[in-house]
Amino acid sequence: MFEAILLTVITAATPLVVAALGELVTERAGVLNLGVEGMMIMGAVCAFAAAQLTGSPYIGIVAGIAGGALFSLLFGFLTLTLVTNQVATGLALTILGLGLSGQLGEAFVGKPGIKLPQIVFPYLSEIPFFGRVLFSQDLIFYLSIALIIGINWFLFKSRTGLKIRAIGDNHGSAHALGINVIRTRYLAVMFGGACAGLAGAQLSLVYTPQWVENMSAGRGWIALALVVFASWRPWRVLAGGYLFGAVTIGQLHAQAFGIGVPSQFLSALPYAATIVVLIIISHNRRTTLINTPASLGKPFVPDR
């Protein structure tokens, strides 16, 4: 029983963690991409379509990543090359993504999906209590853990990571030091898009293996809130993501048991929890100011 609940919590948390990690890198480079929801749903539809057409869920994953990354390029071109307002452009990306995915996915509505198989590690998965939960999961879960470790190392221990953080904190100085701000930001945006696409692939290949319009259901926005919650630190994304996963699954179980509260109120819990968490994190202005990348959302035109 406990094991089963933990498994579903992980499945619900993984897309949030993956999408939030991508957005974390983008925001560390000083770009606020509010289009996570749009990139995620594009990833979901691309992954589902590719898996259907080829019969392989792994090709689906690749297609999801590629779909999210390509779609984010649109955002990158507008905000980085044409210096448009990042908030508005991110919204545009979400609106377009929801529309486009609905149209692309129309042929796939109601088709039975292909579920991503589990990869079972021999011996490790037999460890009592947490072995089965941690070592007989699908590829995307393992990727999410690898991403956390990788990004944590990359951002805080590698040279490029230092450059990214420098750009995010002061793009003017970074430019003066000879760092190519625009190119680095393009890569950061595309990385965010790829992660959102992977998160989308998880939704349509693992979480509910089918295509339903608007199936991301606000998860992209929750991922954005998670980045704030995590104060731009990768490990805290993991904690926050699993907290939200637990809330989501908890309310589903409560609905199944019928505890006398209308199901709509329970369904609203993850969204309400997001608001509460944001209040708790943001109410201290000083810590928010210290943690937020200082150039976040600000336009940059290199002076020549």
Q: How far is the CB of 241 from other proteins (least distance, A)?
A: 16
Residue 85 binds other proteins, judged by CB under 8 A: yes
Query: Tokens standing for 98?
Result: 């929801």
89 vs 204 by CB, closer to other proteins = 89
Q: Tell me, letter by letter, the H, E, C secondary structure of 154-187.
A: HHHHCHHHHHHHHHHHCHHHHHHCCCCHHHHHHH
Residue 103 binds other proteins, judged by CB under 8 A: yes
Considering only CA atoms, which of 261, 164, 217, 206 is closest in space to residue 36? 217
Residue 259 binds other proteins, judged by CB under 8 A: no
- Choices 21-29, 43-51, 141-149, 283-291 (CB under 8 A): range interacting with other proteins: 283-291
Query: Tokens standing for 183?
Result: 């190119």
Signed CA dihedral, 279, 285, 289, 290: sign only: negative
Q: Alpha-carbon distance 232 to 228, whole Å?
A: 6
Within residues 157-216, the interface with other proteins by CB under 8 A covers none
**Which residues neighbour 129 within 8 Å (Cβ) at sequence distance 6 or greater?**
3
- Choices 83-91, 157-165, 166-174, 195-203 (CB under 8 A): range interacting with other proteins: 83-91
Query: Tokens standing for 3?
Result: 């094991």
Q: How far is the CB of 43 from other proteins (least distance, A)?
A: 16
259 vs 279 by CB, closer to other proteins = 279
Q: Which residues bind other proteins (CB under 8 A)?
A: 34, 74, 78, 81-85, 87-89, 91-92, 95-100, 102-103, 106, 217-218, 221, 224-225, 228, 262, 264-265, 267-268, 271-272, 274-275, 278-279, 282-283, 285, 288, 301, 303-304
